[in-house]
Amino acid sequence: MKLTAQRCKPLPKGTPALTDKAARALLNALPEWKMKAKKISRSFHFESYWAGWAFVNALAWIAQAEDHHPEIVLGHKVVTVTFSTHSVKGLSHNDFICAAKADALLD
């Protein structure tokens, strides 16, 4: 099932982070995203500052609906988004679902 068709799920206490191998397998579906230090991130480039703001607002809506919130840095025509799951101290499947949904905003 495509990542964009999935929903984030609450993670029970004690859920482990994804293994590096499992995270890299999921990352294959997200070619623009980079994995570093137990996080995935991507920079999105826009034609204007306001287009970046619109993207941030749309992504915030998705993050709230999924109850999975990224770190977002809004710059001039660039928005950098970083996902990780604090409760597992690394990456979870939820990070990849939300990253795919962020990508879908540009489709």
Residue 8, pLDDT score: 98
Give residue 34's pLDDT: 98
Tell whether 18 is covered by a domain: no
Split into its structural domains, the chain has a count of 1
User: CB of 40 within 8 A of CB of 83?
Assistant: yes
Q: Which of 90, 40, 102 is nearest to 66 (CA)?
A: 102
- State which residues form the domain around 52: 36-107
Low-confidence ranges of the chain (pLDDT < 70): none
Token pair in block for residue 28: 């294959």
CA 65 to chain centre: 13
Q: What is the pLDDT of residue 89?
A: 97
pLDDT of residue 99: 98
> Does any domain span residue 3?
no
CATH at 61: 3.30.1360.20
Q: Is residue 90 part of a domain?
A: yes
Residue 88 lies in a domain: yes
Query: How far apart are alpha carbons 73 and 81 in whole angstroms?
Result: 7
